[in-house]
């Protein structure tokens, strides 16, 4: 089957793109890496009259890392995020999530904005942004606005993005995640390579003392993908491990909290009960690995240790 006929537009600026969206508000679709839109159009599950191709808007392709914030443009490819040394140093959860998206061809073409705009609850970036309290930057002909990730994802593949709006990028405050005391991880369980994950877990842990062998956890973050109809931030799991060194009892409590919070949908290869168990297990694994990395980071950045 072939897509229905449409009119193709290739703007060269954000202003031109938003003008097109405003003009064709109910009949236009944005295209970035075209890793999802082309498939649904080919199957006539979407029949937009206008396609607005963002690949000519070079201003949306960037990775900016400062001491205070990380900013990533919507047109930045998964491959660029995966291989960014600046991101690996500042927020390693992002490259780890990008590395596990599909295969090389998808990572070369797929974009951050496309993934976040699609808002599939099994997607990697939505979980990362939810775990790290990220912000999405959105623009239309009416102006710019910023939306917290926790407010952007509303229901299954339904977001706060209006039909005349586009995502220009995302940003994350580095303040809660000093590199010398923080460990991060992105783990996922897949039924096969280059498929959607059954469950993914994004976790970050900040220790209180870089000189301690077993530092207490000052701050913990856990978000799960494909465990609910939106990225699932598991605050009860975070609270279970905070204020003390990580041990078996806090890990068990965190895992139980995640299993209880999960509300997964059924899949051909995984029923809801199995996915609830996976939510707990991957919460445990991700927190344990993030804590180990926080301790290892403190050891390698402490120049007073032999």
pLDDT at 33 exceeding the cut of 60: yes
- Which of the residue ranges 45-59, 135-149, 171-185, 292-306 would you say has the lowest mean pLDDT? 292-306
Q: Three-class SS of residue 154?
A: strand
Long-range contacts, stretch 160-164, CB < 8 angstroms, 24+ apart:
161/117, 163/21, 163/25, 163/26, 163/28, 164/18, 164/21, 164/22, 164/25, 164/140
Distance CA 275, CA 272 (A): 5
Q: Given this model, what pLDDT does residue 301 score?
A: 53
**152-179 confidence digits (pLDDT tens):** 999 998 999 999 999 999 999 999 999 9
Q: Which CATH class is domain 182-299?
A: alpha beta
Q: Given this model, what pLDDT does residue 121 score?
A: 93
CATH of 60-173 among 3.10.20.600, 3.40.50.2000, 3.90.1150.10, 3.30.465.10: 3.30.465.10
pLDDT at 108 exceeding the cut of 90: yes
Residue 305: pLDDT band (50, 70, 90) is very low
Q: Where are the domains of the chain?
A: 7-49, 60-173, 182-299
Element (H, E) at 279: helix 272-301
Mean pLDDT of 66-71: 98
Residue 306: pLDDT band (50, 70, 90) is very low
Residue whose token pair is 């509300």: 263
**71-104 confidence digits (pLDDT tens):** 999 999 999 999 999 999 999 999 999 999 999 9
Taking the alpha carbons of 283, 287, 288, 293 in that order, is the dihedral positive or negative?
positive
Give the chain's count of helices (H) and strands (E): 12, 14
pLDDT at 37 exceeding the cut of 80: no
- On average, the pLDDT of the chain sits at 93
Q: Given this model, what pLDDT does residue 303 score?
A: 35
Task: Find all residues with CB under 8 Å of 235, minimum gap 6, and list them.
Answer: none
pLDDT at 221 exceeding the cut of 90: yes
Q: Given this model, what pLDDT does residue 150 score?
A: 97
Predicted model pTM: 0.93
Residue 192: pLDDT band (50, 70, 90) is confident
Phi-psi region of 299 (alpha: psi -120 to 50; beta: other; left: phi over 0): alpha
Mean pLDDT of 241-266: 97
Could you tell me the CA-to-CA distances from 81 to 72, 91, 101, 283, 299 in Å, in that order?
A: 9, 11, 11, 24, 26
Distance CA 102, CA 166 (A): 24
């Amino acid at each position: 089957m072939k897509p229905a006929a449409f009119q193709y537009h290739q703007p060269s600026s954000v202003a031109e793109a938003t003008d097109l969206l405003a003009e064709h508000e109910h009949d236009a679709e944005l295209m970035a890496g075209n890793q999802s839109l082309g498939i649904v159009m080919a199957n006539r599950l979407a029949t937009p009259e206008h396609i607005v191709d963002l690949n000519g808007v070079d201003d949306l392709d960037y990775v900016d890392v400062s001491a205070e914030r990380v900013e990533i443009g919507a047109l930045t490819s998964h491959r660029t995020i995966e291989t960014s040394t600046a991101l690996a140093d500042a927020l390693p959860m992002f490259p780890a999530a990008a590395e596990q998206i599909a295969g090389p061809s998808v990572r070369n073409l797929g974009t951050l904005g496309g993934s976040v705009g699609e808002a599939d609850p099994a997607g990697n970036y939505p979980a990362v942004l939810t775990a790290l309290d990220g912000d999405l930057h959105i623009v239309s002909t009416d102006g710019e606005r910023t939306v917290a990730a926790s407010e952007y994802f509303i229901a299954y593949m339904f977001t706060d993005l209006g039909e005349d709006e586009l995502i220009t990028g995302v940003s994350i405050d580095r303040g809660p995640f000093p590199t010398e005391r923080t460990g991060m991880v992105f783990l996922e369980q897949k039924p096969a390579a280059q498929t959607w994950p059954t469950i993914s877990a994004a976790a970050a842990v900040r220790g209180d003392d870089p000189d301690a062998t077993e530092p207490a956890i000052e701050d913990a973050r856990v978000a799960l993908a494909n465990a609910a109809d939106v990225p699932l931030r598991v605050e009860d799991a975070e609270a279970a491990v905070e204020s003390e060194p990580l041990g078996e009892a806090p890990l068990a409590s965190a895992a139980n909290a995640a299993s209880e919070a999960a509300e997964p949908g059924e899949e051909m290869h995984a029923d809801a009960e199995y996915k609830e168990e996976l939510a707990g297990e991957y919460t445990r694994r991700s927190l344990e690995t993030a804590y180990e990395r926080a301790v290892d980071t403190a050891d390698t950045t402490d120049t007073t240790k032999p």
